Amino acid sequence: MMETWFDPAAIAIVFVGTLAATLLRCGMADTRIAIGALRGLVETPFDVTNAKAALAVQIREIADDGFLRAEPQHFGDSEFDSLSDLIISQRSIQSLHGEHHKFKEARVATAQTAERVFNSAAELAPILGLAGTLIALGQAQGSTPEQLGIVGAISMAVVTTLYGLIAANFLFSPLASAIARKSRREELDRDEVLEWLASGIRKTGMAATPPHADRAVA
């Protein structure tokens, strides 16, 4: 029974063909981005609790020692490590939000590119399944014995069509949706941490104006 549905030639036509067609349609750069986003699905997601715990040390240092003596607190997240440096150097809530927006735009653009690549693969997979069907039917001509050739061709045609539908609806399209969901969740979590951080700095009473503001007024 399994031999009926397992056809290496059909797998090659549908899956390898879809990957090749997607690469040609989307380009190497976008395909690399999609592969990176795929790896991100199995990596540890952004941890709100861990981020707040690390940044709480930053807020406490600012409250106790002021900006001049406080040291940036890094915990391995590129955005919030950069924001910690910015807090100490700029002392401005506005610059904090501006820097966060730059990181957010880059992350969202990456996720949208990856989503577009996998959606393209989902569109192409049924087409490659149809191509496999046509190839199988074309091979039936001249087969010996003829009747067995037609039966085999029909079998391969059905399998390639099935592989195309499975690849589109149970692999590529779900991957695109998973990347989109992860991106939305991460941005919500990061926005929450940023607002928490900004609120904590405001409570210290030491982030009312950026550095050199007094000098500019004078």
Domain contains 3: no
Domain contains 2: no
Output the six-digit token pair for 24.
């040609």
Q: What domain range includes position 148?
A: 14-208
Domain count, the chain: 1
Domain contains 122: yes
For the segment 59-116, what is each residue's pLDDT rounded down to a tens digit?
888 888 777 778 888 989 999 999 998 888 887 778 889 999 999 999 999 999 999 9
Domain contains 217: no
Domain contains 214: no
For the segment 23-42, what is each residue's pLDDT rounded down to a tens digit?
999 999 999 999 999 999 99
Domain contains 7: no
Residue 155 makes CB contacts below 8 A (sequence gap 6+) with 4, 7, 136
Q: Tally the C-alpha atoms within 13 A of residue 69's C-alpha that lie toward its C-beta.
A: 6
Domain contains 64: yes
Domain contains 213: no
